[in-house]
Structure 1
Amino acid sequence: MSHAIRGLEQTLGAALFLREGRSVRLTSDGRTLMRHVERGFGELQLGIGSVLAQAPRLLRVHSAPSFAAQWLLPRLRRLLKEVEGLEVRLAAGTDYARFLPSDECDVDIVYGMPSPDFHGAAMHQNLIVLPLGTEVITPLCAPALAPDIRTPRDLLRHTLIESETKRVRWPAWFAANGHIAPEPRGPRFDRSFLSLSAAADELGVALESTRLAERELASGRLVRPLRDVCEDVVYTGHWLVFPRSMRYSQPLVVFVGWLATELGLELDLEALDGPAD
């Protein structure tokens, strides 16, 4: 710093500081220059603020496909309307984001709690992982099929749609209701949104999350034939994951707050200020 100041003084041909022992103070020329420098920095700050105010706040979201299609996308318009200037880039896939520069991802909504084995122990310690509440897994079908389904045993006479990547499947549900699941013989899908669509089209009965089926249940395309009759399975299916370094990002803070409101949860990022465990 001292070399830079001396170089500036040589360029100007004027002393900017008076050096008195270990202390320094501005000369008359130094005070004159300081007034202009302060105005210059003030204008620079105003310019930067104007650019930031006009620039869209980009949030790059990666999500499990069915959560993206069934839950997030139907609400996206409401999010963008509530948060002026927010720009969301949404990508869906079954792989967990690794949060590498090539991933182009700020936050990931994953199905199933991510294991440290996937990201690596060092990276996992630098991630924040938040559960997105519990989900109810129950039989769902088109209204036309519902009258014939009054007990869990009645399902044995119907085509059961298999969601092959679901963590809660028919054997677990039948066991919870005191029955043995039949051998799989219905259509199989690797995405929940496909199973829900098939059930709405009367291809059979799907065992799916009521959260993912909110639109179909609200519109009447799907119903819960055994509501208040069977033992539903409740579990935590989806998790929010992002690098600890992102927790102060304004777009992320807004997104997490919005998610919490929509899901009826308390997700407090201020409580995550401490170092990684």
Structure 2
Amino acid sequence: MRRVPNFVLLRAFEAAARLESFTLAASELHLTQSAISHQVRELEDYFGRKLFVRRNRRVEPTPEGRRLLESLSRVFDVIEAACNEVALAPQAQVLAVYSAPSFAVKWLGPRLPAFMQQHPDITIRLSSGAEPIDMTLAREVDLAITYGTAQARAGVIVTPLGKERILPLCSPRLLDDGLPARTQMQSLPLIDSQLSRVTWPDWFDANGMVCPTRPRASFDRGALAISAAVDGMGVALESIRLAERELARGDLVPVGEGEFRPVARETHFLCYRQNEAHLPKIATLVAWLCAELGLDPGPEAGGTGARRPK
């Protein structure tokens, strides 16, 4: 048996801590205030420590109570999602997708409404994280899109999602049309994207220039670097795949396009288990992703050719 307190006690605590009120928790759970108070005290006895500071009209979680609330909130969200999935129509499929954060926000997320409209029987459960995951262990994930690298494992299909052009991008208001791009790049403020496959020293070296040594603003996500560039903070060296909406709106422009040496890298990778490639929900999303990116999905996902850009 699992060594956890009675679920009823945890439920009472979660409601009281989230609402910071025994009265509101009682109303939400259709109990009396005294019942909530009793259940919370029983849970405090179980842990041997106070979980709330009682005040006149409200209660405030102690540091231990806040830690418990944060964990329980995540657990309850998972339980709620699992219950909702049971209630889906018999033909419905739930597809758990794990994605690199910037790809999820900048590229995948804006396209998901169209995918869901085309495939109403597939419910997407999207999570994100910066680290690659081991698909042989993460059984709760059906398909992963990772950044930088993908963990090669027997029985796991890893598909590069095509090369991405990485360019210096900035707000058009930072540029001076009367000056050459090379001259401007020596004085414009630069933005570091910490996880980028291409660094500013790499880019300047590739273009036969000396990288300025002045301080640079730094962000640990490409999406944040792109947003900072839109706000006029400086020039971001980022993938135009991730910045496509900002470029289309004119919020960002490439600096010296056609003048500097182009840089392209395979930066995102699609991963799924080989023995699940035939599942309709997997095959459908793989085919859709590849179509959106102009790639051949390959024979494992119903294609016929190598998994390379068309």
Does TM-score exceed 0.5, indicating one fold? yes
Residue 85, structure 1, aligned to residue 121, structure 2: yes
In structure 2, relative to structure 1, the CA distance for the partners of 1:84 and 1:271 (3 Å cut) is closer
Q: Following superposition of structure 1 onto structure 2, how do residues 134-145 of structure 1 map, counting pairs within 5 Å?
A: 134-145=163-174
Map of 1:125 onto structure 2: 154
3-state SS of 1:144 partner: helix
Count of residue correspondences: 216
Secondary structure of 2:176 counterpart: helix
Q: How does 1:59-78 map to 2 (within 5 A)?
A: 59-78=95-114
Q: Which of 190, 198, 208 lines up with 1:168 in the alignment?
A: 198
Q: 2:283: which partner in 1?
A: 253
Give the letter aligned to residue 215 of structure 1.
R
Whether the 8 Å contact between 2:132 and 2:149 is mirrored in structure 1 is no
Deviation at 1:211, TM superposition (A): 0.3
- Per-residue deviation, residues 103-139 of structure 1 (Å, max 9, x unmatched): 52011101123244xxxxxxx1111000100100010
Range with bigger deviation, 176-185 or 142-151? 142-151
The question of 1:201 aligning with 2:239 is answered no
Q: Distance in 2 between matches of 1:84 and 1:271?
A: 20
Q: Is the 8 A contact 2:143 2:270 kept in 1?
A: yes
Deviation (angstroms), 1:270: 3.6
How far is the alpha carbon of 1:150 from its aligned partner?
Answer: 3.1
Give, in whole Å, the separation in 1 of the partners of 2:240 and 2:138.
Answer: 35
Q: Work out which of the residue numbers 144, 150, 154 in structure 2 matches 1:108.
A: 144
- Consecutive unaligned residues of structure 1, counting only runs of 5 or more, are 1-50, 117-123
- Aligned CA RMSD, in angstroms, stands at 2.1
Q: Secondary structure of the equivalent of 1:73?
A: helix
Shift of 1:269: 3.6
TM-score (norm 2): 0.65
Contact kept, 8 Å, 2:194 with 2:218, in 1: the verdict is yes
Provide the rounded CA distance (Å) in 1 between the counterparts of 2:302 and 2:119: 23
Contact 2:170 2:252 in 1 (8 A): yes
Given the two structures, how large is their TM-score scaled by the length of structure 1? 0.73
Matched, 1:180 2:210: yes
- Percent identity reads 40
SS in 2 for 1:147: coil
Using CA pairs under 8 Å that are at least 6 residues apart, name the structure with larger relative contact order, 1 or 2: 1
Matches within 5 A, 1:190-269: 190-269=220-299
